[in-house]
Chains A and B, each alone.
Chain A
Amino acid sequence: MIALAIGLTLVSAGPASASFWAPQSGGSPNADRIHTLYAVVFAVGVVIFIAVFGALVYAMVKFRARPGAVAEQLHGNTRLEIGWTAGAAGIVLILGIVTFLMLPGIRNPDNSDADGWAIPAGYQTAKDKELLPEDGKSLNIDVNGQQYAWRFTYPDADRDRQNNVQAYEEMVVPTGTTVTLDIRSSDVGHAWWIPKLGGKADALPGYTNHTWFKIPRGKEGVYVGQCAELCGRNHANMTARVRAVTPEQFTQWLASQKSSLAQAGVAADEFREQQAKNDAAAAAAQAPEAEGSETQTPEASTSSDDAESAAGAAQR
């Protein structure tokens, strides 16, 4: 019966669907290593299943009640019982050893490739060394979950957080470069998950969670995923995308983001200056001008919104 169910799903799965029996992988070494570890445990599990299920089916067929058959009044077999306890313990031990051998490669970030994006020295934020690659260099992106979208904040060399490049929904990253993520939430719990790029990391308000990925050169493209922790009614629509581009394209993208951000900043400064001038003029003209300044304020804020959305459009 179970075989029938397996057969049914096998037929329906069609040829060579990698995610039929194992987790997705192929976008990052940690996802590949999880896939390998899963495959090892899965194989052990299949062997155990066949052995135990086989014994069960054999017993059902062989020892069914027949006329004249007498059940053996047996209460146990200490040697056998010790044997299978030790066997089970041995399997658990082996699985544990395999896991511990593979764990560092999954948990600890790899170094970036030599032909990856050169991370400017000033970019690194203060971060626990264990969360960084051995050479200490990674593109560290701040990921913030909120109902129902992800916001990505890119690092830069200065200390001003206001002028950092930001993006919503789609994270643009260079290939061949280790990307480490600081994952936070500003409202309820969310979970960051791009299946091909490795495991999940919960975004919980008040905490910072960490994960990493490194998309190899030649695997440029879009990797999709979605929030994996119930976060409200629109949970199903809280999608996430990672667009991997070559390091050269990434340099360009970052520069264009920076410049549009700078332009927006300049424009905003101009508006603020104008605002200050208007306020001063209004103050000079005293009381009757109060209405005028009121009409000025919304105008100014709409214009700066325009500038922001222009920057946003450039990001997209």
Chain B
Amino acid sequence: MATVTATPIPQVVAHSVEKPMRGWVDWVTTTDHKKIGIMYLVLTFAFFGVGGVEALLIRLQLAVPDNTLLDFKTYNQLITMHGTTMVFLFVVPVMAGFGNYFVPLMIGARDMAFPKLNALSFWMLAAGGLVFYASVFFNPPECGWTCYVPLASKDYLPNGGVDAWIFLVHLTGIGSLVGSVNFYVTIANLRAPGMTWSRLPLFAWTILTYSVLLILALPAIAAAVTLLLTDRHFGTNFYDPAEGGSPLLWQHLFWFFGHPEVYIMVLPGFGIISEVLPVFARKPIFGYKAIAASTLTIAFLGLMVWAHHMFTTPSPSVVLVFFMVSSMLISIPTGIKIFSWIGTLWRGTIIFATPLLFAVGFLGTFLIGGITGVILALYPVDWQLHDTYFVVAHFHYVLMGGAVFAVFSGLYYWFPKMTGRMMDEKLGKISFWTMLIGFHVTFLVQHSIGLDGMPRRIPEYADVGNLAIYNLISTIGAFILGIGILLTAINALRSLKHGAVSGPDPWKANTLEWFTQSPPPQNNFDAVPRVRSVEPMKDIRAEIERRNNEPNPVSA
């Protein structure tokens, strides 16, 4: 006993080391950005599945003219739940999920700036989803995801569905606001040494913009739904024209949020594409500054185009002209992005891995959505196309073919980092082609459905023109698309156990998340390397190579 006294012992001793939590308690109480990110992704993909089933039910009802599969009430509930789920519970939060997991890793931080707030923002999302889906057991809302008044007022929809929708908007909104502040502070303050603004990864740029847009846009919808809540329950008349209120006020407030929301959904997708393309073309991103600047320009213009959703309302010509011009202008920065992405592929050596396929699928699909967007921006043309299936096709090209394809690209790209295992390439490619074919079969023909005179949100249609055959094609496509998505789900679940072990950097990628192990340890990095360009990993690999080639190699 006495012989060992010479051994130096640390003088600072923790009084008690907290035992690591186990199992589900660990997940429920975690403030680790990676675990929160995983929870975001799991929950939002689950909602994606639910929203997808709702979409398939809608397409089944529309498969043949005068179908009686669903009654009108159920149909209106389904379109409301599909839209709300995909926007509020899938596309927006799935970007927060990727952002949560990868922004700190990409910028060389050990966690988000406010880990507890981060957990709060996830649980607010979960609570919003719970409140909304609880209405399934009572009366889901029937007002469409836009819940236009007076239809959403107590006179026309007195049951609790609309209230559940209001609370969903509030709860997920608070979650997004808290998360956005967190993202902003993290990116502004926790970047690795040497990572100046012009070396910030483009995905982090888009998450930064996403956060700013959410902070600017969410208060408008929070106000709008609060006014609706007081109209419904506390006797106010903000939206009742008989009492001096205005239903147009709802539309302005809703779309002041609703259109930036579109960019909130698609900009992080742009960010994913900007990360994936250079890695698989083995080439730096073409025009880094132009892409970052166009992200900011789109966000700025995106705040000034909301009334292009209201071209058919009784509004003065000067208003219509302003919003037409601002909407057309957005096509310029969007064009810059598309051209720069093609420039990135140009003269590269393109490796056709699944993430790249989804990224290129995104490019082609989004291009069509962008062009139909310009057509819709011309308000005299919009008078014909507004609220028809042409619009449905357009926004699915942007959000499903655009944002969701980008999300799938990100999933295949980052899955090895999150799990330490690769997803199966063969199944991934089959899934991609099935999804791409299914998507275009579903939605390309919907342009013609709209031009043939079919409005959106109708549960049945007469057998006139070519509507019957168009709709049947669209329904068949939807099921092909569903199978494609299912294949990726199977792929992800199977690869968790059976995927090839990936190692820290399977793609030879460019950004810092690939510097650490897969999956990363709790503290992310033991040492954060100094960043000297927008592609730090490329620099590090080059440095290792250089030292290895020296006559007397020293350890890097």
Indicate with 1 or 0, residue by residue over B335-359, a CB within 8 angstroms of chain A CB atoms: 1101110110111111110000000
Which residues of chain B (348-391) have a CB below 8 Å from chain A? 348-352, 360, 363-364, 367-368, 371-372, 374-375, 378, 380-388
* A175–B349 CA distance with the chains assembled, in angstroms: 65
Q: Does B469 contact A (CB under 8 A)?
A: yes
B384 touches A92 (CB 8 A): no
Q: Does A230 contact B (CB under 8 A)?
A: yes
Number of interface residues of A (CB under 8 A): 90
Q: Does B164 contact A (CB under 8 A)?
A: no
Neighbour of A89 across the interface among B288, B332, B340, B387, CB < 8 A: B332
Which residues of chain A (190-248) have a CB below 8 Å from chain B? 191, 193, 195, 198-202, 204-210, 225-236
Q: Which of A21, A70, A228, A231 has the most CB of B within 10 A?
A: A228
Which residues of chain A (1-49) have a CB below 8 Å from chain B? 1-2, 4-6, 8-9, 12-14, 17, 19-24, 31, 33-34, 37-38, 41-42, 45, 48-49
A102 touches B380 (CB 8 A): yes
Contact A209 to B144, CB < 8 A, known contacts A75-B284, A107-B380: no
Q: Does B241 contact A (CB under 8 A)?
A: yes
A76 touches B336 (CB 8 A): no
B324 touches A99 (CB 8 A): yes
Number of interface residues of B (CB under 8 A): 92
> Which one, B32-40, B188-196, B447-455, is touching chain A?
B447-455
Q: Does A69 contact B (CB under 8 A)?
A: yes
A88 touches B332 (CB 8 A): yes
Q: Hey, which chain B residues are within 8 Å of A8, CB to CB?
A: 441, 445, 473
Q: Which of A5, A12, A17, A45 has the most CB of B within 10 A?
A: A5
Q: Does A103 contact B (CB under 8 A)?
A: yes
Q: Does A96 contact B (CB under 8 A)?
A: yes
* A31–B385 CA distance with the chains assembled, in angstroms: 12
Indicate with 1 or 0, residue by residue over B433-473, a CB within 8 angstroms of chain A CB atoms: 10011001100110010011101011111000110011001
A205 touches B241 (CB 8 A): yes
Q: Does B325 contact A (CB under 8 A)?
A: yes
Q: Does A72 contact B (CB under 8 A)?
A: yes
Q: Does A74 contact B (CB under 8 A)?
A: yes
Indicate with 1 or 0, residue by residue over B394-433, a CB within 8 angstroms of chain A CB atoms: 0000000000000000000000000000000000000001
Closest to B329 in A: A92
Distance in angstroms from A46 CB to nearest chain B CB is 8
Distance in angstroms from B365 CB to nearest chain A CB is 8
A41 touches B381 (CB 8 A): yes
Q: Does B11 contact A (CB under 8 A)?
A: no
Q: Does B317 contact A (CB under 8 A)?
A: yes
A12 touches B466 (CB 8 A): yes
B350 touches A65 (CB 8 A): yes
Q: Hey, which chain A residues are within 8 Å of B444, CB to CB?
A: 2, 5-6, 9
Q: Does A73 contact B (CB under 8 A)?
A: yes
B347 touches A72 (CB 8 A): yes
Q: Does A52 contact B (CB under 8 A)?
A: yes
Q: Does B137 contact A (CB under 8 A)?
A: no
Q: Hey, which chain A residues are within 8 Å of B335, CB to CB?
A: 84-85, 88
A201 touches B375 (CB 8 A): no
* A278–B211 CA distance with the chains assembled, in angstroms: 76
Q: Does A254 contact B (CB under 8 A)?
A: no
Closest to B443 in A: A5
B156 touches A17 (CB 8 A): no
> Which one, A54-62, A111-119, A297-305, is touching chain B?
A54-62
* A48–B369 CA distance with the chains assembled, in angstroms: 13
Contact A206 to B246, CB < 8 A, known contacts A41-B381, A59-B345, A229-B148: yes
B388 touches A228 (CB 8 A): yes
Q: Does B331 contact A (CB under 8 A)?
A: yes
Neighbour of A84 across the interface among B324, B339, B451, CB < 8 A: B339
Q: Hey, which chain B residues are within 8 Å of A77, CB to CB?
A: 286-287, 343
Closest to A87 in B: B335
Q: Does A187 contact B (CB under 8 A)?
A: yes
Contact A73 to B375, CB < 8 A, known contacts A9-B445, A19-B451, A99-B324: no
Contact A96 to B325, CB < 8 A, known contacts A66-B349, A230-B143: yes
Which residues of chain A (164-208) have a CB below 8 Å from chain B? 187-189, 191, 193, 195, 198-202, 204-208
Q: Does B227 contact A (CB under 8 A)?
A: no
Q: Hey, which chain A residues are within 8 Å of B151, CB to CB?
A: 188-189, 230-232
Which residues of chain A (264-293) have a CB below 8 Å from chain B? none
A64 touches B148 (CB 8 A): no
* A6–B364 CA distance with the chains assembled, in angstroms: 14
Contact A38 to B384, CB < 8 A, known contacts A1-B436, A9-B445, A235-B457: yes
Q: Hey, which chain B residues are within 8 Å of A201, CB to CB?
A: 312, 314, 383
Q: Does B328 contact A (CB under 8 A)?
A: yes
* A92–B334 CA distance with the chains assembled, in angstroms: 12
Neighbour of A37 across the interface among B381, B388, B460, CB < 8 A: B381
A53 touches B367 (CB 8 A): yes
Contact A233 to B451, CB < 8 A, known contacts A56-B364, A204-B247: no
A85 touches B336 (CB 8 A): yes
B375 touches A42 (CB 8 A): yes
B282 touches A9 (CB 8 A): no
* A8–B380 CA distance with the chains assembled, in angstroms: 30
Distance in angstroms from A2 CB to nearest chain B CB is 6
Distance in angstroms from A107 CB to nearest chain B CB is 7
Q: Does A71 contact B (CB under 8 A)?
A: yes
* A40–B31 CA distance with the chains assembled, in angstroms: 55
Q: Does A262 contact B (CB under 8 A)?
A: no
Q: Does A139 contact B (CB under 8 A)?
A: no
Q: Does A95 contact B (CB under 8 A)?
A: yes
Neighbour of B465 across the interface among A17, A21, A73, CB < 8 A: A17
A205 touches B247 (CB 8 A): yes
Distance in angstroms from B393 CB to nearest chain A CB is 11
* A95–B376 CA distance with the chains assembled, in angstroms: 12
Q: Does A121 contact B (CB under 8 A)?
A: no
Q: Hey, which chain B residues are within 8 Å of A41, CB to CB?
A: 374-375, 378, 381
A2 touches B440 (CB 8 A): yes
Q: Does B185 contact A (CB under 8 A)?
A: no
Neighbour of A206 across the interface among B247, B287, B312, B384, CB < 8 A: B247
B380 touches A34 (CB 8 A): yes
A9 touches B473 (CB 8 A): yes
Q: Does B21 contact A (CB under 8 A)?
A: no
* A233–B460 CA distance with the chains assembled, in angstroms: 11
B349 touches A95 (CB 8 A): no
Q: Which of A21, A55, A230 has the most CB of B within 10 A?
A: A230
* A198–B156 CA distance with the chains assembled, in angstroms: 30
Q: Does B290 contact A (CB under 8 A)?
A: yes
Q: Does A106 contact B (CB under 8 A)?
A: yes
Q: Does B262 contact A (CB under 8 A)?
A: no
Binding site for B on A (CB under 8 A): 1-2, 4-6, 8-9, 12-14, 17, 19-24, 31, 33-34, 37-38, 41-42, 45, 48-49, 52-53, 55-56, 59-60, 63-66, 69-77, 80-81, 84-85, 88-89, 92, 95-96, 99, 102-103, 106-107, 187-189, 191, 193, 195, 198-202, 204-210, 225-236
**What are 15 A-B contacts with C-beta separation under 8 Å?**
A4-B440, A8-B441, A9-B448, A21-B451, A34-B381, A41-B378, A45-B374, A53-B364, A56-B364, A59-B345, A75-B284, A191-B386, A199-B382, A201-B383, A210-B314
Nearest 7 A-B pairs (CB), nearest first?
Answer: A199-B383, A206-B241, A236-B458, A5-B440, A88-B335, A23-B384, A209-B314
